[in-house]
Each structure stands twice: as structure tokens, then as C-alpha cells.
Amino acid sequence: MGRAPRSPAISRAVRILEFLAAEAAPKSVSAVSRATGLPKTSVHGICLALADERMVSRGVDGTFWLGPRIAELAASTWNTERSLRFGLLIPTRSNEYYTTMLDAAEMDVRAAGGELHVLQSNENSDRQREQWMELLDRGVDVLLVDAVDSNAFGDLLELSKRRNVPVLAIGSRMNGVDGSVSSDNTQAGLLAGHLLAARLRGEGDVAIIDGLRKNANADRVAGFKEAVRDYPGLRVVAREHGRNDNTASGRSVAEGVFAAHEDIVGIFAVCDPIAFGVSDYLGDRGASVPIVSVDGRARAVEQITGAGPIIGTAAQDPVRIIRTALGMAMDLAHGKQPAQGAFLIPVRLVTADNAEGYAPWG
């Protein structure tokens, strides 16, 4: 008696998974279709079905990559005497970016049978140093860090290496780590800069309202400045740092910037919370100055589609960042080097023209 015929749908799904597993970067439906020889409509339908089962993940830009369920299934075969202990250092729990990230992290680590130890520093670098030591003393197997200050932890990285605890940077780059996962923050600044320049028709004085001194913010500013170089009539007349990446800081810095530069016609804020502070300040003054930012939060989209001064935000994907980082962390904890040391997650510029098709977080 002959073998029963294979299910075509399962065979197609396996081909797609094998292709995504061999690729270091997320792939579009068109790329998957070309590589597998499958019709785009079939690829799209199968990828959506796999995403429902968390076998693949879908980005805000419509690309796909291997999902957390793959890592969970692989983890179930590991012969370990105890569950993995993940340490996660974040600047704050009061930021929706981190609460969105934590929801995904807690679900994935729980499904894999691990432990997740999360500490917040309230955006205080000294406190984050103490918490780094605390997690090492707790005996975590791997440490994920979104640094308050990207350049403040060189000695702790050395200590972590001596204790054989791999360290992953998430959200912002750090030198000396075992791997990093972040948004493409330079791309975010570029997209925001070109949008603001187009709105201003390449003319006028603009200001940059910065926040914490971490590489994510520095990369966004670098991208914005690179975009502005294409428009000789645009002049960056101020770049001011706030104490935090929050609304109160954005409002405080905006007050000083506009007091010193009355002719500013556009603002780049390094994150949405800072942009909200600038927006609130402008609203109190009855002023209308366009703002571009980075994040992709629901409140920013409300302003973009309404009458608010925020005209665009380069959307991050905090769920994709943490799930990619956890996959790398599992590999590192078991002595396996990831396929690439640094992952840059693409961002998507959200404007009034495309906001309807974007699902915001926060």
C-alpha cells in the first residue's frame, strides 16, 4: 500500500519556515514568494495563519520572521536541570513602550518555562548600575539591558563576562555586549527629517528636543541631521537635552527653546512622550508648529490624524524587539552564538496618508 499523499498546505508552510529560518533579516511576502516559488496570495495566507499560531511574527511594515513559538518548541528539547533565568533592566515601567514590551516578554518566557526578573531604574543611571549588580547576584543566566546611559557600564560588562553571564543590549546600542537588538534609529531620524523638511518646503529654523544620553537618541538625531543636510534652507538652531524621555521633560525643554528662538517653525522630538510635552506647551501658547517624532504610539497617531501639531512618527515595534532579543538570549545562555550580533528592526513612518493602515501600540 502506497504512502498517503502529503498535505500541500503543510508542505508549503514548511518551505516558508525553512526559508525564514535561513534568513538573518525579516522578509516581505514578495521576497518569500520569489524564494519559494509560491504564489503571493498563498504566501500571505500561510504567513497570517502561522502568525496566529506564533510560528512567525509580523512587523508593522508587513514583513515576517520566525516567531517565538519556534524558540519555545526548541527550548522544550533542551536538557537543562533548571529553567533559564532572564534578567531585564529597563529605564521605567511608566512608559507604554516598556509595558508593551514586558507583556510580550513575560508571556514568552513563561511559555518557555523560564523565569523573568525585571527591574526599573526610574531613568537613573546610578540606580541601574545597582540593579545590574543585583541581577548578577541573583544568578541570572543572561542579562538584557535597555541602558539609561549607553556609556556608563563598561566595568559591569567586564564583570558580567567574568561571571559568564551574556549581556544583550535592547533598544539602544552599547559597546562590548554579546549582541544587540534595536530599532533602526538612524532610519527613524532620516524619515522624520525628510517629512518635516517637506512640510516646511525646505525653509526655516528648526530645533531638536533630545532626552536621555543614550545611543538610540543619538542615532535618531544623527539621522535627522543627515536628512536636513539635503535642504540648505533648513537651519538647526537648537539641540537641547531634557532630563528624561517623558512629557514633563519635553514641555520644560520646549519652554526654554522657544524663549531663546522665537522664529522656530519645526521641531524634531526624539520620542513621542517628549513630543507630547512640546505639543502641550504649544497648545497653551495657541501656537501651531509641526512636530515629528519617533515611536508610533496611539496618542501620536491621534494627533497625526486630527488637528494636533504632531504630523508624523517613525513607528517602533517593541514586541518584535523583545522577542528577537529573547531568541538571541536563549541561544547565548546555551553557548550558541546568534547568526548575527546586531539586529536593526526597521521602522515605519506614520503620517496622515497611511495612519489608517497602522495598528498603534500604547
List of domains in the chain = 8-66 (1.10.10.10), 84-181+318-345 (3.40.50.2300), 185-316+351-357 (3.40.50.2300)
Could you tell me which of 340, 333, 343 has the C-alpha nearest to residue 75? 333
Instruction: Please write the tens of the pLDDT for every residue from 312-357.
Output: 999 999 999 999 999 999 989 988 887 778 899 999 999 999 999 8
In percent, the amount of the chain with pLDDT more than 90 equals 74
Q: How far apart are the first and last CA of the chain?
A: 57
**Residue with cell string 524621555:** 245
Question: Tell me, what's the pLDDT at 73?
Answer: 67
Per-residue pLDDT for 181 more than 90? yes
Question: Tell me, what's the pLDDT at 67?
Answer: 79
How far apart are alpha carbons 283 and 258 in whole angstroms? 13
Instruction: Please write the tens of the pLDDT for every residue from 74-111.
Output: 655 444 445 899 999 999 999 999 999 999 999 999 98
How far apart are alpha carbons 242 and 106 in whole angstroms? 31
Per-residue pLDDT for 72 more than 70? no
**Secondary structure (DSSP) of 260-323:** H-TTEEEEEESSHHHHHHHHHHHHHHT----EEEEE-BHHHHHHHHTTSSEEEEEE--HHHHHH
Residues in contact with 3: Cβ distance below 8 Å, sequence separation at least 6, in sequence order? none
Determine how β-strand 310-315 pairs with β-strand 348-350: antiparallel
Strand-pairing partners, residue 205, are 235, 264
**Secondary structure (DSSP) of 131-159:** HHHHHHHHT-SEEEE--SSTTS-HHHHHH
What is the overall mean pLDDT for the chain? 91
Going by the DSSP 8-state scheme, the letter that residue 26 receives in this structure is -
- Give the CA radius of gyration of the chain: 22
How far does Cα 129 stand from its chain's mean position? 22
Residues in contact with 96: Cβ distance below 8 Å, sequence separation at least 6, in sequence order? 297, 361, 362
Q: Which three cell numbers stand for residue 270?
A: 526624539
